[in-house]
Structure 1
Amino acid sequence: MASSRPALIALTALAPVSWGTTYAVTTEFLPADRPLFTGLMRALPAGLLLLALARVLPRGAWWWKAAVLGALNIGAFFPLLFLSAYRLPGGMAAVVGSAGPLFVAGLAALLLGQRPTRRTLLTGAVAAFGVSLVVLRAAGALDAVGLLAALAATVSMSAGTVLTQRWGRPAGVGPLALTGWQLTAGGLLIAPLAFLVEGAPPALDGRAAGGYLYLAVANTAVAYWLWFRGIGRLTATQVTFLGPLSPLTAAVVGWAALGQALTPVQLVGMGLAFGATVAGQFGARPMPPRREGVMRREPAEGRPVRPVGADREPFPVCRASTGER
């Protein structure tokens, strides 16, 4: 039903909004200088929890597909993101990440046959510019390693988003299981790196334990479940245009909870980025969930495309149960 589309977008948007609280939780509750351990604690417990709830393991080719998606969306993305955040000045890592819609538009054209429109490219550029006004600060010279890490993190997440939509999920497997597979695979990839680079886990007090619990459950298990559900229903470009909500939320949380001032320039940037996020949701219809062996393409304006095999399974035109990641 068409009326379910706003609810779908709103549910999916909760994921980047949740991720926007990560910085405040990390700085106020967690041990310092443990980015890899924090990534591990976000991914692996959340993945194991979702696996226990779904009680479904990959089969056949989905063992390597889940590993690839887990590496792109979690295992490579988390360490690269943390590396860029530690080496780049101000919010440069967030600015590079806000270019995600442009990367996704290019990858979607190559892998999904979804040609980017001029409107999409312009809206993506406006979103990146708005985020830059919000998060950039006067700082020293850029670090080449940090910049490459930020670019690699953005490309990794963008590729994971597009491949998640291209591959869909196996018949009979829900988004809960798919999310659990990816988080577990990503966590297992981060684990040896965290122990090799950072050593033994730090001692945790009640405050740190509560912070890690929040990151694992609300910030990761629930948020990524919503994100991957959204990828299954919205176009890849629509989903990635919700990404700028993360740095915007971080700025609002910093102002409301940490006493960080917001300048007029930042407020203008927030308006531009939020406007681009909203604009990025128009012009494309939600996608029917993809199943193995069912090819699909983006619907023409105003006319849904019936997938192959629709005589065996009714074509679900925008059900309300959407939104995951």
Structure 2
Amino acid sequence: MKKLGTLLMASIMLALGACKDSGSNERFLPPSTGGINSLMVVMDTELWRGPVGEKIRDEFAAQIVGLPQIEPKFTLTQVPPKVFKGTTTHSRSILYVEKDSASLAHIRDDAYSKPQKVAVVTGPTDEVMIKNLDSLANRAIKEFKANEIAEAQKRFERSLSKDKALEEEFGIHLNVPSLYKVGRREDKFVWMDIQIPKGTMNIIAYEMPWDYFSNDSTFVQDIVRMRDSIGQKYIPGPYENTYMITEKAFAPYVFPAEIGGKKAAEVKGVWEIHGYPMAGPFLTYIINDKENNRKMIVEGFTFAPSEAKRDYMFELEAILKTIDFSATSNVSD
């Protein structure tokens, strides 16, 4: 009897073939569903409880760097293959794992709904499945996350802020939800925020000279120095002589990135208030805007004591990644 994994791939290939044969007629696909950063894992419950399931949890529910508490990359929901039918197949992100004589490790787009990513891993033994998971995990996580970013952006694009502070100060545009309001604006500095149940989510933007980061060996220290100086100047704490700084105990994480079509550095870490017990996560993009002879800085940070912060920071990341440097010609009044 054919395994369900083989049937799954056969059905996907058949659907793709039917779509191709029909010429310009597109196959109807229902809209995908699911919470942001949720991943449906379709696999036998015994496999889920064993080393294959442990490998999945290690990879797809690994701790996110830069958060003050342990939170997973994805919220995993495991279902057995026999219930993977109907609306269950419409989940936006799916990882399908099954023991099968064929060894597979690949990703399909829009198999049952749209937009959708389905990662399929099969193998004849636990060892082969774990090897296939290991080979596919990084790419699958990257594609799942990109799909989630696009979904988050689609959701908040329904109602966007019309404030022109970013355009007028920097000539950039961000797709910022309308609930965010400009709370502080000075020459070459903009701060927007939104109230959340137990705190705030914040976006700031400023610029630095093109040659501010002149030495690779001191790059991280220079980032901390930059953030601390901006915090002292613009982001006060609750009392006099208190202000935002980068957490002293741990250096921030720095990764290469591309944003707005430009090379950048992505910085993740924890902020704290100098002289007062407040802290939270931040995400900073330092963007090489050579055309304007500057480093353009956009940052999101959250204050939400005793609350999970993954999804708050994910929304801020989705907003920051909409940056457009041709805003003055593309944004309508």
Q: Of Structure 1 and Structure 2, which has the larger fraction of its residues in helix? A: 1
Return the index of the structure with the highest Cα Rg: 2
Q: Which has the higher contact order (CA 8 A, sep 6+)?
A: 1
Q: Of Structure 1 and Structure 2, which has the larger fraction of its residues in strand? A: 2
